[in-house]
Structure 1
Amino acid sequence: MTNLVIAEHDNASIKAATLNTVAAAQKIGGDIHVLVAGYNAQAAADAAAKIAGVSKVLLADAPHLGAGLAENIEATVLKIAKDYTHILSPATAYGKNIAPRIAAKLDVAQISDITAVVSVDTFERPIYAGNAIATVQSADPIKVITVRSTGFDALGAGGGCAAIEKIDAAADGGLSLFVSREVTKLDRPELTTAKIIVSGGRGLGNRENYTRVLEPLADKLNAALGASRAAVDAGFVPNDYQVGQTGKIVAPQLYVAVGISGAIQHLAGMKDSKVIVAINKDPDAPIFSVADYGLVGDLFAVVPDLCAQLS
Protein backbone atom coordinates (compact mmCIF):
# COMPACT_ATOMS: atom_id res chain seq x y z
CA MET A 1 0.00 0.00 0.00
CA THR A 2 1.42 3.35 -1.10
CA ASN A 3 0.00 6.84 -0.67
CA LEU A 4 0.62 9.78 -2.99
CA VAL A 5 0.47 13.27 -1.50
CA ILE A 6 0.16 16.13 -3.99
CA ALA A 7 2.27 18.90 -2.53
CA GLU A 8 1.13 22.49 -2.51
CA HIS A 9 4.16 24.70 -3.05
CA ASP A 10 5.45 27.90 -4.66
CA ASN A 11 8.32 26.20 -6.54
CA ALA A 12 10.69 27.19 -3.74
CA SER A 13 9.09 25.92 -0.53
CA ILE A 14 6.34 23.62 0.66
CA LYS A 15 3.09 25.13 1.96
CA ALA A 16 2.17 24.28 5.54
CA ALA A 17 -1.03 22.41 4.60
CA THR A 18 1.09 19.77 2.86
CA LEU A 19 2.61 18.79 6.23
CA ASN A 20 -0.87 18.10 7.62
CA THR A 21 -1.74 16.09 4.54
CA VAL A 22 1.35 13.94 4.97
CA ALA A 23 0.28 13.39 8.59
CA ALA A 24 -3.07 12.07 7.33
CA ALA A 25 -1.27 9.76 4.90
CA GLN A 26 0.82 8.47 7.78
CA LYS A 27 -2.37 7.59 9.67
CA ILE A 28 -3.49 5.51 6.71
CA GLY A 29 -0.23 3.56 6.76
CA GLY A 30 2.13 2.31 4.08
CA ASP A 31 4.75 4.19 2.12
CA ILE A 32 4.28 7.90 1.45
CA HIS A 33 5.35 9.50 -1.80
CA VAL A 34 5.08 13.25 -2.39
CA LEU A 35 4.54 14.71 -5.86
CA VAL A 36 6.09 18.12 -6.48
CA ALA A 37 4.78 19.34 -9.84
CA GLY A 38 6.15 22.71 -10.87
CA TYR A 39 8.87 24.56 -12.76
CA ASN A 40 12.38 25.12 -11.46
CA ALA A 41 11.01 23.43 -8.36
CA GLN A 42 14.11 21.60 -7.16
CA ALA A 43 14.14 23.64 -3.94
CA ALA A 44 10.55 22.61 -3.20
CA ALA A 45 11.44 18.97 -3.87
CA ASP A 46 14.41 19.24 -1.51
CA ALA A 47 12.11 20.64 1.18
CA ALA A 48 9.59 17.83 0.60
CA ALA A 49 12.35 15.24 0.97
CA LYS A 50 13.01 16.51 4.48
CA ILE A 51 9.43 15.99 5.70
CA ALA A 52 9.29 13.31 8.36
CA GLY A 53 7.70 10.07 7.15
CA VAL A 54 8.15 10.65 3.41
CA SER A 55 9.88 7.78 1.62
CA LYS A 56 10.11 9.24 -1.89
CA VAL A 57 9.63 12.57 -3.66
CA LEU A 58 8.55 12.63 -7.29
CA LEU A 59 9.61 15.79 -9.11
CA ALA A 60 7.77 16.70 -12.32
CA ASP A 61 9.47 19.82 -13.63
CA ALA A 62 8.15 21.56 -16.73
CA PRO A 63 7.30 25.14 -17.75
CA HIS A 64 3.57 24.44 -18.09
CA LEU A 65 3.45 23.18 -14.49
CA GLY A 66 4.96 26.34 -13.02
CA ALA A 67 1.67 28.19 -12.47
CA GLY A 68 -0.07 25.20 -10.90
CA LEU A 69 -2.84 24.99 -13.50
CA ALA A 70 -5.18 22.23 -12.37
CA GLU A 71 -5.58 20.61 -15.79
CA ASN A 72 -1.85 20.04 -16.20
CA ILE A 73 -1.29 18.89 -12.61
CA GLU A 74 -4.19 16.46 -12.95
CA ALA A 75 -2.80 14.98 -16.18
CA THR A 76 0.59 14.43 -14.56
CA VAL A 77 -0.99 12.71 -11.56
CA LEU A 78 -3.05 10.43 -13.82
CA LYS A 79 0.16 9.14 -15.44
CA ILE A 80 1.22 7.58 -12.13
CA ALA A 81 -2.12 7.14 -10.34
CA LYS A 82 -2.32 3.38 -10.91
CA ASP A 83 0.69 2.89 -8.65
CA TYR A 84 -1.14 4.21 -5.59
CA THR A 85 -3.99 3.13 -3.32
CA HIS A 86 -4.61 6.63 -1.93
CA ILE A 87 -4.10 10.05 -3.53
CA LEU A 88 -4.27 12.90 -1.05
CA SER A 89 -4.19 16.68 -1.36
CA PRO A 90 -4.80 19.46 1.14
CA ALA A 91 -8.36 20.82 1.30
CA THR A 92 -7.17 24.26 0.20
CA ALA A 93 -8.13 26.16 -2.93
CA TYR A 94 -5.20 24.42 -4.64
CA GLY A 95 -6.19 20.90 -3.59
CA LYS A 96 -9.91 21.40 -4.14
CA ASN A 97 -9.16 22.50 -7.69
CA ILE A 98 -7.15 19.41 -8.57
CA ALA A 99 -8.60 16.46 -6.64
CA PRO A 100 -12.12 16.42 -8.18
CA ARG A 101 -10.62 16.32 -11.65
CA ILE A 102 -8.48 13.33 -10.72
CA ALA A 103 -11.42 11.52 -9.11
CA ALA A 104 -13.63 12.11 -12.15
CA LYS A 105 -11.00 10.81 -14.58
CA LEU A 106 -10.43 7.73 -12.38
CA ASP A 107 -14.20 7.24 -12.08
CA VAL A 108 -14.09 7.11 -8.29
CA ALA A 109 -15.89 9.06 -5.58
CA GLN A 110 -13.82 11.77 -3.95
CA ILE A 111 -13.70 11.74 -0.15
CA SER A 112 -13.64 15.39 0.84
CA ASP A 113 -12.34 17.28 3.83
CA ILE A 114 -11.42 14.34 6.07
CA THR A 115 -10.59 15.09 9.70
CA ALA A 116 -9.75 11.56 10.90
CA VAL A 117 -8.63 8.19 9.55
CA VAL A 118 -10.53 5.21 10.95
CA SER A 119 -8.93 2.58 8.71
CA VAL A 120 -7.44 2.29 5.24
CA ASP A 121 -10.89 2.59 3.66
CA THR A 122 -12.88 4.50 6.29
CA PHE A 123 -12.64 8.18 7.16
CA GLU A 124 -14.43 10.88 9.13
CA ARG A 125 -15.53 14.19 7.67
CA PRO A 126 -17.67 17.04 9.00
CA ILE A 127 -21.15 17.70 7.61
CA TYR A 128 -23.86 20.26 8.40
CA ALA A 129 -21.28 22.98 9.04
CA GLY A 130 -19.39 20.73 11.43
CA ASN A 131 -22.40 19.94 13.64
CA ALA A 132 -22.23 16.26 12.69
CA ILE A 133 -19.41 13.93 11.71
CA ALA A 134 -19.99 11.43 8.90
CA THR A 135 -18.06 8.17 8.76
CA VAL A 136 -17.42 7.37 5.11
CA GLN A 137 -16.25 4.01 3.78
CA SER A 138 -14.98 3.61 0.23
CA ALA A 139 -14.56 0.45 -1.82
CA ASP A 140 -12.90 2.27 -4.71
CA PRO A 141 -9.53 0.78 -5.77
CA ILE A 142 -7.92 4.24 -5.65
CA LYS A 143 -9.16 6.63 -3.01
CA VAL A 144 -8.92 10.33 -3.84
CA ILE A 145 -8.98 12.36 -0.64
CA THR A 146 -8.76 15.99 0.42
CA VAL A 147 -7.51 16.61 3.95
CA ARG A 148 -8.71 19.36 6.28
CA SER A 149 -5.46 20.62 7.74
CA THR A 150 -7.00 21.45 11.13
CA GLY A 151 -7.83 17.77 11.64
CA PHE A 152 -4.21 16.58 11.73
CA ASP A 153 -1.14 17.87 13.52
CA ALA A 154 1.54 18.84 11.02
CA LEU A 155 4.58 16.60 10.76
CA GLY A 156 8.04 18.06 11.15
CA ALA A 157 9.39 19.91 8.14
CA GLY A 158 12.86 18.54 8.86
CA GLY A 159 14.49 15.27 9.80
CA GLY A 160 13.52 13.27 6.72
CA CYS A 161 15.86 12.11 3.99
CA ALA A 162 13.66 10.83 1.17
CA ALA A 163 15.03 10.05 -2.27
CA ILE A 164 14.08 12.42 -5.10
CA GLU A 165 13.06 10.86 -8.41
CA LYS A 166 12.43 12.94 -11.51
CA ILE A 167 9.41 11.93 -13.58
CA ASP A 168 8.08 13.14 -16.93
CA ALA A 169 5.29 15.68 -16.82
CA ALA A 170 2.20 15.15 -18.93
CA ALA A 171 2.01 17.32 -22.02
CA ASP A 172 0.39 20.73 -21.76
CA GLY A 173 -3.32 20.15 -22.31
CA GLY A 174 -3.84 23.66 -23.62
CA LEU A 175 -7.20 23.94 -21.83
CA SER A 176 -6.23 26.96 -19.78
CA LEU A 177 -3.62 29.69 -19.89
CA PHE A 178 -1.92 31.43 -17.00
CA VAL A 179 -2.11 35.18 -17.53
CA SER A 180 -1.05 36.84 -14.29
CA ARG A 181 -1.18 36.57 -10.53
CA GLU A 182 -1.57 39.35 -7.98
CA VAL A 183 -0.16 38.30 -4.62
CA THR A 184 -1.19 40.11 -1.48
CA LYS A 185 1.85 40.90 0.65
CA LEU A 186 1.16 40.89 4.37
CA ASP A 187 3.13 42.48 7.16
CA ARG A 188 1.65 39.99 9.60
CA PRO A 189 1.23 36.18 9.67
CA GLU A 190 -0.85 34.45 6.99
CA LEU A 191 -4.35 33.59 8.19
CA THR A 192 -4.41 29.82 7.69
CA THR A 193 -1.02 29.22 9.32
CA ALA A 194 -1.06 31.84 12.08
CA LYS A 195 -0.77 30.72 15.70
CA ILE A 196 -2.83 33.70 16.87
CA ILE A 197 -5.78 35.25 15.03
CA VAL A 198 -7.79 38.35 15.89
CA SER A 199 -11.13 38.41 14.05
CA GLY A 200 -13.76 41.10 13.81
CA GLY A 201 -17.45 41.00 13.03
CA ARG A 202 -20.35 43.23 12.16
CA GLY A 203 -20.31 44.65 15.69
CA LEU A 204 -17.35 46.84 14.68
CA GLY A 205 -19.70 48.93 12.57
CA ASN A 206 -17.47 49.96 9.67
CA ARG A 207 -14.08 49.59 7.97
CA GLU A 208 -12.52 52.44 9.94
CA ASN A 209 -13.47 50.91 13.28
CA TYR A 210 -12.13 47.52 12.17
CA THR A 211 -8.75 49.08 11.45
CA ARG A 212 -8.70 51.38 14.48
CA VAL A 213 -9.79 48.77 17.04
CA LEU A 214 -8.33 45.48 15.82
CA GLU A 215 -5.00 46.33 14.26
CA PRO A 216 -3.39 47.54 17.52
CA LEU A 217 -4.47 44.32 19.25
CA ALA A 218 -3.16 42.20 16.39
CA ASP A 219 0.12 44.10 16.48
CA LYS A 220 0.49 43.47 20.22
CA LEU A 221 -0.13 39.75 19.78
CA ASN A 222 1.75 39.39 16.45
CA ALA A 223 -1.51 37.96 15.14
CA ALA A 224 -3.17 37.50 11.77
CA LEU A 225 -6.37 39.41 11.08
CA GLY A 226 -9.62 37.64 10.23
CA ALA A 227 -13.30 38.49 9.88
CA SER A 228 -16.76 37.02 9.85
CA ARG A 229 -18.73 36.75 6.63
CA ALA A 230 -20.96 39.61 7.78
CA ALA A 231 -17.93 41.88 8.10
CA VAL A 232 -16.66 40.87 4.67
CA ASP A 233 -20.07 41.33 3.04
CA ALA A 234 -20.31 44.77 4.65
CA GLY A 235 -17.01 45.72 3.02
CA PHE A 236 -14.94 46.08 6.19
CA VAL A 237 -12.16 43.87 4.79
CA PRO A 238 -11.37 41.81 1.64
CA ASN A 239 -12.63 38.27 1.09
CA ASP A 240 -9.18 36.91 1.99
CA TYR A 241 -9.91 37.71 5.62
CA GLN A 242 -13.06 35.60 5.87
CA VAL A 243 -13.09 32.77 8.41
CA GLY A 244 -15.92 30.27 8.14
CA GLN A 245 -17.52 27.48 6.18
CA THR A 246 -17.31 29.46 2.93
CA GLY A 247 -14.08 31.17 3.97
CA LYS A 248 -10.94 29.79 5.53
CA ILE A 249 -10.85 26.98 8.09
CA VAL A 250 -8.43 27.81 10.90
CA ALA A 251 -7.30 26.26 14.16
CA PRO A 252 -4.76 28.57 15.79
CA GLN A 253 -3.45 28.34 19.32
CA LEU A 254 -5.46 31.48 20.18
CA TYR A 255 -8.52 32.89 18.41
CA VAL A 256 -9.88 36.25 19.57
CA ALA A 257 -13.41 36.98 18.27
CA VAL A 258 -14.36 40.65 18.59
CA GLY A 259 -17.93 41.75 17.83
CA ILE A 260 -18.74 38.38 16.24
CA SER A 261 -22.13 36.91 17.17
CA GLY A 262 -21.11 33.38 16.24
CA ALA A 263 -23.30 32.30 13.34
CA ILE A 264 -23.02 28.61 12.54
CA GLN A 265 -21.17 29.44 9.32
CA HIS A 266 -18.43 31.21 11.25
CA LEU A 267 -18.19 28.64 14.04
CA ALA A 268 -17.57 25.92 11.45
CA GLY A 269 -14.36 27.69 10.45
CA MET A 270 -12.79 28.32 13.86
CA LYS A 271 -14.24 26.13 16.60
CA ASP A 272 -11.24 23.79 16.50
CA SER A 273 -9.00 26.62 17.78
CA LYS A 274 -7.11 25.61 20.89
CA VAL A 275 -8.21 28.64 22.97
CA ILE A 276 -11.12 30.90 21.97
CA VAL A 277 -11.67 34.33 23.50
CA ALA A 278 -14.94 36.11 22.71
CA ILE A 279 -15.71 39.79 23.27
CA ASN A 280 -19.33 40.77 22.67
CA LYS A 281 -21.90 43.03 24.31
CA ASP A 282 -24.67 40.40 23.91
CA PRO A 283 -24.42 37.80 26.72
CA ASP A 284 -26.57 35.40 24.68
CA ALA A 285 -24.40 35.52 21.55
CA PRO A 286 -23.77 31.99 20.19
CA ILE A 287 -20.01 32.64 20.13
CA PHE A 288 -19.95 32.21 23.91
CA SER A 289 -21.06 28.57 23.51
CA VAL A 290 -17.66 27.67 22.04
CA ALA A 291 -15.49 30.25 23.83
CA ASP A 292 -13.03 29.21 26.52
CA TYR A 293 -13.06 32.78 27.82
CA GLY A 294 -15.89 35.24 27.29
CA LEU A 295 -16.05 38.94 28.07
CA VAL A 296 -19.41 40.70 27.89
CA GLY A 297 -18.90 44.38 27.23
CA ASP A 298 -18.53 47.22 24.77
CA LEU A 299 -15.74 46.21 22.41
CA PHE A 300 -14.82 49.85 21.80
CA ALA A 301 -13.86 50.11 25.48
CA VAL A 302 -12.72 46.56 26.16
CA VAL A 303 -10.26 46.13 23.27
CA PRO A 304 -8.29 49.37 23.92
CA ASP A 305 -8.12 48.43 27.62
CA LEU A 306 -6.82 44.99 26.64
CA CYS A 307 -4.19 46.59 24.41
CA ALA A 308 -3.09 48.81 27.27
CA GLN A 309 -2.69 45.78 29.53
CA LEU A 310 -0.53 44.10 26.90
CA SER A 311 1.86 47.05 26.68
Structure 2
Amino acid sequence: MPYNRRDFIQTLALAGAALPLRSFALPAKEWEIHCFSKPFQWMDYGLLCETFAAAGLTGVDYTVRPDGHVLPEKVTTDLPKAAAAARKAGLKTALMTTAIRDAQEPYTAAVLKAAAKEGIQFYRMGWYDYQKGKPLLSSLQACAQQLKGLRTLNRELNIRASYQNHAGVRVGASVWDLYEMIKDTDTAYAGVQYDIRHATVEGANSWPLGLELVRPHINTLVIKDAKWVEQNGKYILQNTPLGEGMVNFPAFFKKVKELNIHVPISLHLEYELLSRQEETLPAAQKQQIVLKKLQKDVQTLRGMLAATGL
Protein backbone atom coordinates (compact mmCIF):
# COMPACT_ATOMS: atom_id res chain seq x y z
CA MET A 1 0.00 0.00 0.00
CA PRO A 2 1.46 3.46 -0.88
CA TYR A 3 2.15 5.72 2.06
CA ASN A 4 1.48 9.46 1.75
CA ARG A 5 1.66 12.56 3.88
CA ARG A 6 -2.04 12.46 4.80
CA ASP A 7 -1.51 8.98 6.26
CA PHE A 8 1.40 10.36 8.23
CA ILE A 9 -0.56 13.29 9.68
CA GLN A 10 -3.32 10.93 10.74
CA THR A 11 -0.71 8.74 12.38
CA LEU A 12 0.64 11.71 14.36
CA ALA A 13 -2.82 12.53 15.62
CA LEU A 14 -3.35 8.99 16.84
CA ALA A 15 0.09 8.75 18.43
CA GLY A 16 -0.16 12.15 20.07
CA ALA A 17 -3.51 11.35 21.60
CA ALA A 18 -1.95 8.45 23.46
CA LEU A 19 0.74 10.56 25.13
CA PRO A 20 0.33 12.40 28.45
CA LEU A 21 0.56 16.17 28.09
CA ARG A 22 3.02 16.41 30.95
CA SER A 23 5.60 14.61 28.79
CA PHE A 24 6.09 17.80 26.80
CA ALA A 25 6.99 19.77 29.93
CA LEU A 26 10.49 18.34 30.18
CA PRO A 27 12.61 20.39 27.78
CA ALA A 28 16.21 19.39 28.46
CA LYS A 29 17.93 22.57 27.36
CA GLU A 30 20.09 22.62 24.27
CA TRP A 31 20.79 18.88 24.15
CA GLU A 32 20.92 17.60 20.60
CA ILE A 33 19.25 14.18 20.50
CA HIS A 34 19.74 12.33 17.24
CA CYS A 35 18.55 8.81 16.58
CA PHE A 36 20.46 5.88 15.09
CA SER A 37 18.75 4.87 11.86
CA LYS A 38 19.72 1.16 11.90
CA PRO A 39 16.46 -0.21 13.42
CA PHE A 40 14.42 1.85 10.93
CA GLN A 41 16.06 0.78 7.69
CA TRP A 42 12.73 -0.49 6.33
CA MET A 43 11.71 3.17 6.07
CA ASP A 44 12.70 5.40 3.17
CA TYR A 45 14.40 8.72 3.95
CA GLY A 46 11.19 10.75 3.92
CA LEU A 47 9.21 8.47 6.20
CA LEU A 48 12.17 8.05 8.55
CA CYS A 49 12.69 11.79 8.95
CA GLU A 50 9.00 12.59 9.38
CA THR A 51 8.83 9.91 12.08
CA PHE A 52 11.91 11.24 13.88
CA ALA A 53 10.58 14.80 13.75
CA ALA A 54 7.23 13.67 15.17
CA ALA A 55 9.06 11.96 18.04
CA GLY A 56 10.71 15.24 19.05
CA LEU A 57 14.25 14.40 17.95
CA THR A 58 16.88 16.91 16.88
CA GLY A 59 18.42 14.92 14.07
CA VAL A 60 19.24 11.69 12.27
CA ASP A 61 22.31 9.50 12.81
CA TYR A 62 22.29 7.79 9.41
CA THR A 63 24.04 4.48 8.80
CA VAL A 64 26.44 5.14 5.91
CA ARG A 65 28.06 1.74 5.56
CA PRO A 66 27.53 -1.66 3.90
CA ASP A 67 23.86 -2.68 4.36
CA GLY A 68 23.15 0.78 5.76
CA HIS A 69 20.60 3.45 4.93
CA VAL A 70 23.20 4.92 2.59
CA LEU A 71 25.58 2.53 0.81
CA PRO A 72 29.21 3.72 0.53
CA GLU A 73 29.27 3.03 -3.22
CA LYS A 74 26.22 5.31 -3.66
CA VAL A 75 27.18 7.98 -1.15
CA THR A 76 27.58 10.83 -3.66
CA THR A 77 24.02 10.42 -4.90
CA ASP A 78 22.15 9.03 -1.90
CA LEU A 79 23.59 10.98 1.04
CA PRO A 80 22.40 14.32 -0.41
CA LYS A 81 18.91 12.78 -0.74
CA ALA A 82 19.01 11.56 2.85
CA ALA A 83 20.21 14.94 4.12
CA ALA A 84 17.56 16.77 2.08
CA ALA A 85 14.84 14.62 3.65
CA ALA A 86 16.16 15.52 7.09
CA ARG A 87 16.21 19.24 6.33
CA LYS A 88 12.67 19.06 4.95
CA ALA A 89 11.52 17.56 8.27
CA GLY A 90 13.42 20.19 10.27
CA LEU A 91 16.13 17.78 11.45
CA LYS A 92 19.91 18.04 11.61
CA THR A 93 22.42 15.61 10.14
CA ALA A 94 25.37 16.24 12.41
CA LEU A 95 26.15 12.54 13.02
CA MET A 96 26.56 9.44 10.89
CA THR A 97 27.67 5.86 11.52
CA THR A 98 30.23 4.29 9.18
CA ALA A 99 32.54 1.29 8.88
CA ILE A 100 35.59 3.52 8.30
CA ARG A 101 38.80 2.38 10.01
CA ASP A 102 41.56 3.59 7.71
CA ALA A 103 42.18 6.54 5.39
CA GLN A 104 43.24 4.19 2.59
CA GLU A 105 40.09 2.07 2.49
CA PRO A 106 38.22 2.23 -0.84
CA TYR A 107 35.29 4.48 0.15
CA THR A 108 36.75 6.47 3.05
CA ALA A 109 37.52 9.66 1.13
CA ALA A 110 34.28 9.60 -0.86
CA VAL A 111 32.12 9.04 2.24
CA LEU A 112 33.83 11.77 4.28
CA LYS A 113 33.81 14.31 1.44
CA ALA A 114 30.10 13.72 0.81
CA ALA A 115 29.41 13.96 4.54
CA ALA A 116 31.30 17.24 4.90
CA LYS A 117 29.29 18.75 2.04
CA GLU A 118 26.10 17.94 3.94
CA GLY A 119 27.31 19.48 7.19
CA ILE A 120 27.94 16.22 9.04
CA GLN A 121 30.38 16.91 11.88
CA PHE A 122 30.96 13.49 13.48
CA TYR A 123 31.28 10.00 12.06
CA ARG A 124 31.34 6.85 14.12
CA MET A 125 34.11 4.54 12.97
CA GLY A 126 34.22 0.79 12.48
CA TRP A 127 35.86 -1.21 15.28
CA TYR A 128 39.46 -2.42 15.33
CA ASP A 129 40.38 -6.02 16.12
CA TYR A 130 43.36 -7.05 18.20
CA GLN A 131 46.06 -8.48 15.96
CA LYS A 132 46.59 -12.17 16.50
CA GLY A 133 50.02 -13.19 17.71
CA LYS A 134 50.97 -9.69 18.86
CA PRO A 135 51.08 -8.29 22.41
CA LEU A 136 47.98 -6.29 23.26
CA LEU A 137 49.85 -3.00 23.68
CA SER A 138 51.64 -3.48 20.37
CA SER A 139 48.30 -4.09 18.70
CA LEU A 140 46.86 -0.93 20.25
CA GLN A 141 49.80 1.10 18.97
CA ALA A 142 49.13 -0.16 15.45
CA CYS A 143 45.47 0.84 15.80
CA ALA A 144 46.53 4.28 17.02
CA GLN A 145 48.56 4.75 13.85
CA GLN A 146 45.54 3.87 11.72
CA LEU A 147 43.48 6.39 13.65
CA LYS A 148 46.15 9.07 13.23
CA GLY A 149 46.18 8.29 9.51
CA LEU A 150 42.67 9.73 9.29
CA ARG A 151 43.81 13.02 10.80
CA THR A 152 44.86 14.71 7.55
CA LEU A 153 41.58 13.94 5.82
CA ASN A 154 39.55 14.93 8.89
CA ARG A 155 41.41 18.22 9.17
CA GLU A 156 40.94 18.97 5.48
CA LEU A 157 37.20 18.34 5.68
CA ASN A 158 36.64 19.71 9.21
CA ILE A 159 35.03 16.48 10.38
CA ARG A 160 35.70 14.34 13.47
CA ALA A 161 35.98 10.60 13.95
CA SER A 162 34.19 9.01 16.91
CA TYR A 163 35.28 5.59 18.19
CA GLN A 164 32.57 3.77 20.16
CA ASN A 165 33.31 1.62 23.20
CA HIS A 166 31.49 -1.65 22.51
CA ALA A 167 31.20 -4.71 24.75
CA GLY A 168 33.10 -7.76 23.56
CA VAL A 169 36.71 -8.54 22.67
CA ARG A 170 37.45 -5.84 20.11
CA VAL A 171 39.51 -2.74 20.81
CA GLY A 172 37.56 -0.35 23.03
CA ALA A 173 35.53 -2.87 24.97
CA SER A 174 37.14 -2.05 28.30
CA VAL A 175 37.46 1.74 27.68
CA TRP A 176 40.95 1.62 29.23
CA ASP A 177 42.35 0.15 26.02
CA LEU A 178 40.42 2.77 24.06
CA TYR A 179 42.17 5.45 26.09
CA GLU A 180 45.56 3.86 25.40
CA MET A 181 44.79 3.95 21.67
CA ILE A 182 43.44 7.49 21.52
CA LYS A 183 45.34 9.36 24.25
CA ASP A 184 47.82 11.06 21.88
CA THR A 185 45.34 11.76 19.08
CA ASP A 186 44.32 15.36 18.38
CA THR A 187 40.85 15.76 19.90
CA ALA A 188 39.95 18.27 17.18
CA TYR A 189 39.80 15.45 14.65
CA ALA A 190 39.13 12.22 16.55
CA GLY A 191 37.47 11.25 19.82
CA VAL A 192 35.25 8.81 21.67
CA GLN A 193 31.59 8.01 21.22
CA TYR A 194 30.87 6.94 24.78
CA ASP A 195 28.19 4.26 25.13
CA ILE A 196 26.93 3.82 28.70
CA ARG A 197 25.06 0.59 27.86
CA HIS A 198 28.23 -1.15 26.70
CA ALA A 199 30.28 0.43 29.49
CA THR A 200 27.82 -0.99 32.04
CA VAL A 201 28.02 -4.46 30.51
CA GLU A 202 31.83 -4.45 30.72
CA GLY A 203 32.15 -2.65 34.05
CA ALA A 204 28.95 -2.72 36.08
CA ASN A 205 30.51 -0.79 38.97
CA SER A 206 33.71 0.60 37.51
CA TRP A 207 32.31 2.45 34.48
CA PRO A 208 32.63 5.89 36.20
CA LEU A 209 36.42 5.45 36.19
CA GLY A 210 36.53 4.75 32.48
CA LEU A 211 34.18 7.65 31.78
CA GLU A 212 36.42 10.03 33.70
CA LEU A 213 39.53 8.66 31.97
CA VAL A 214 38.29 9.31 28.42
CA ARG A 215 36.28 12.41 29.27
CA PRO A 216 38.64 14.84 27.40
CA HIS A 217 38.16 12.78 24.24
CA ILE A 218 34.37 12.33 24.29
CA ASN A 219 32.70 14.07 21.36
CA THR A 220 29.38 12.17 21.23
CA LEU A 221 27.28 9.97 23.54
CA VAL A 222 25.20 6.86 22.86
CA ILE A 223 22.16 6.25 25.04
CA LYS A 224 20.46 2.84 25.27
CA ASP A 225 19.57 0.24 27.88
CA ALA A 226 19.79 -3.54 28.45
CA LYS A 227 19.61 -6.20 31.14
CA TRP A 228 20.79 -9.75 31.80
CA VAL A 229 18.06 -12.41 31.56
CA GLU A 230 18.20 -16.17 32.06
CA GLN A 231 17.39 -18.23 29.01
CA ASN A 232 17.76 -22.01 28.84
CA GLY A 233 20.08 -22.00 31.83
CA LYS A 234 22.32 -19.26 30.46
CA TYR A 235 22.38 -15.51 30.98
CA ILE A 236 22.11 -13.38 27.86
CA LEU A 237 21.79 -9.66 27.24
CA GLN A 238 18.36 -8.36 26.36
CA ASN A 239 18.02 -4.82 25.05
CA THR A 240 15.20 -2.79 26.61
CA PRO A 241 13.48 0.59 26.36
CA LEU A 242 15.21 3.32 28.38
CA GLY A 243 14.78 2.96 32.12
CA GLU A 244 13.74 -0.70 31.96
CA GLY A 245 17.22 -2.20 32.02
CA MET A 246 20.24 -2.21 34.31
CA VAL A 247 21.92 1.04 33.22
CA ASN A 248 22.06 3.41 36.20
CA PHE A 249 21.01 6.53 34.32
CA PRO A 250 20.67 8.79 37.40
CA ALA A 251 24.29 8.01 38.33
CA PHE A 252 25.43 8.33 34.73
CA PHE A 253 23.87 11.72 34.11
CA LYS A 254 25.06 12.93 37.50
CA LYS A 255 28.59 12.03 36.38
CA VAL A 256 28.02 13.68 33.00
CA LYS A 257 27.04 16.86 34.82
CA GLU A 258 29.99 16.62 37.20
CA LEU A 259 32.43 16.21 34.31
CA ASN A 260 30.74 18.97 32.30
CA ILE A 261 30.13 16.77 29.27
CA HIS A 262 27.80 18.38 26.75
CA VAL A 263 27.94 16.77 23.32
CA PRO A 264 25.44 15.46 20.75
CA ILE A 265 23.54 12.32 21.76
CA SER A 266 22.74 9.36 19.54
CA LEU A 267 19.70 7.50 20.88
CA HIS A 268 19.69 3.78 20.00
CA LEU A 269 16.57 1.59 20.02
CA GLU A 270 18.05 -1.90 19.92
CA TYR A 271 15.07 -3.77 21.40
CA GLU A 272 12.29 -5.33 19.32
CA LEU A 273 10.21 -2.61 17.68
CA LEU A 274 8.00 -4.87 15.57
CA SER A 275 6.94 -8.46 16.09
CA ARG A 276 7.12 -10.85 13.15
CA GLN A 277 3.39 -10.45 12.67
CA GLU A 278 3.61 -6.65 12.83
CA GLU A 279 6.37 -6.63 10.22
CA THR A 280 3.81 -7.78 7.65
CA LEU A 281 1.52 -4.79 8.26
CA PRO A 282 1.25 -1.82 5.85
CA ALA A 283 3.85 0.93 6.34
CA ALA A 284 1.37 3.33 7.93
CA GLN A 285 0.48 0.86 10.67
CA LYS A 286 4.08 -0.15 11.31
CA GLN A 287 5.07 3.51 11.49
CA GLN A 288 2.40 4.16 14.13
CA ILE A 289 3.69 1.28 16.29
CA VAL A 290 7.35 2.31 16.20
CA LEU A 291 6.56 6.01 16.57
CA LYS A 292 4.91 5.42 19.95
CA LYS A 293 7.94 3.48 21.19
CA LEU A 294 10.33 6.10 19.87
CA GLN A 295 8.37 8.94 21.46
CA LYS A 296 8.42 7.12 24.79
CA ASP A 297 12.21 6.74 24.73
CA VAL A 298 12.75 10.36 23.65
CA GLN A 299 10.52 11.65 26.43
CA THR A 300 12.17 9.33 28.98
CA LEU A 301 15.60 10.59 27.96
CA ARG A 302 14.58 14.24 28.13
CA GLY A 303 13.03 13.58 31.51
CA MET A 304 16.27 12.04 32.77
CA LEU A 305 18.28 15.01 31.54
CA ALA A 306 15.88 17.49 33.09
CA ALA A 307 15.80 15.59 36.39
CA THR A 308 19.59 15.88 36.60
CA GLY A 309 19.49 19.59 35.81
CA LEU A 310 21.20 19.14 32.49
- Per the normalisation by structure 1, the TM-score is 0.26
Is the helix fraction higher in 1 or 2?
2
**Higher CA-based Rg:** 1
Is the strand fraction higher in 1 or 2?
1
